[in-house]
């Protein structure tokens, strides 16, 4: 069941990236295609059969897992920037790319790398739960590494929720508001995943569902917003930003070009 969920998530991400490819080749908003491509690669790398092959190329010390962490960091940062700019939320962009946001990224990156390098990671294991060295000290280092890897997506999600929830309540087109709702669900899943280690043994499998919800929420939400923008352009050619959506009718401007 978990394998089917992972492959289904990969299929959705790859399909969205494929649909976005022609626009990217025309030079239209290539960074949005980058989000979809990175998300697809991250899901692909999280599947055991793919992970095993790639980690073998990297020396079978689970460097593929470290690579996956930083692909995820890059994905959520780029997506967060696009969403914040697209919805015209003034405080979110500085929280991501200002001094505070960059400091948070640097600290979490360091907290990810240090435990990984200190641990004995020999022996390919997709979740690093079945590596040969199961000593308590090594397991503790792996737990710290895993916990750090979930913090940055949760931070970005927390920064984005005011923007996505605000968009849900705006006068933006229906598809865009639906996309904002899906993004909000994905952001909530990213935050919830931080507490995945607290799940009792019989419920650990729920982490896979929460993780898939986070990925699909991000990709599907952005795809809906993109489709809403395309539909609006084909219709009235008048696509209001979140800031414009709070103005009186008739005062909206063409905006949301970031998405």
Domain boundaries, the chain: 2-246
d(CA 193, CA 222): 20
Share above pLDDT 70 across residues of the chain, in percent, rounded to a whole number: 89
Q: Is it the case that residue 45 has pLDDT exceeding 60?
A: yes
Let me know how long the chain is.
259
- What is the pLDDT, as a whole number, of residue 258? 56
Protein fold of 2-246? Rhopdopsin 7-helix transmembrane proteins (1.20.1070)
In this prediction the pTM is 0.88
- pLDDT tens-digit profile of 4-42? 889 999 999 999 999 999 988 888 888 999 999 999 999
Q: Is it the case that residue 183 has pLDDT exceeding 70?
A: yes
d(CA 103, CA 123): 33
Q: What is the mean pLDDT of residues 169-173?
A: 83
Q: Is it the case that residue 255 has pLDDT exceeding 90?
A: no
Q: Is it the case that residue 44 has pLDDT exceeding 80?
A: yes
Residue of 129 and 71 predicted with greater confidence: 71
């Amino acid at each position: 069941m978990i394998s089917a969920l992972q492959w289904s998530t990969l299929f959705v991400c790859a399909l969205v990236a494929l649909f976005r490819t022609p626009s990217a080749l025309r030079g239209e908003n290539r960074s949005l295609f980058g989000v979809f491509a990175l998300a697809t690669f991250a899901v692909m790398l999280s599947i055991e059969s793919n992970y095993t092959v790639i980690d073998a190329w990297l020396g079978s010390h689970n460097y593929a897992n470290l690579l996956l962490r930083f692909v995820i960091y890059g994905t959520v940062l780029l997506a967060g920037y696009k969403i914040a700019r697209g919805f015209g939320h003034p405080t979110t962009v500085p929280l991501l790319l200002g001094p505070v946001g960059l400091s948070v990224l640097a600290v979490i990156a360091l907290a990810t790398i240090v435990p990984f390098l200190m641990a004995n990671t020999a022996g390919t294991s997709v979740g690093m739960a079945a590596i040969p060295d199961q000593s308590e000290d090594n397991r503790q280092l792996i737990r710290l590494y895993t916990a750090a890897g979930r913090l940055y997506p949760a931070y970005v999600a927390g920064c984005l929720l005011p923007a996505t929830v605000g968009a849900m309540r705006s006068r933006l087109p229906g598809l865009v508001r639906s996309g904002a709702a899906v993004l909000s669900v994905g952001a909530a899943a990213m935050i919830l995943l931080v507490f995945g280690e607290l799940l009792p043994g019989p419920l650990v499998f729920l982490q896979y569902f929460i993780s898939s919800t986070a990925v699909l929420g991000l990709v599907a939400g952005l795809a809906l917003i993109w489709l809403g923008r395309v539909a609006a352009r084909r219709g009235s050619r008048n696509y209001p930003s979140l800031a414009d959506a709070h103005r009186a009718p008739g005062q909206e401007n063409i905006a949301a070009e970031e998405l």
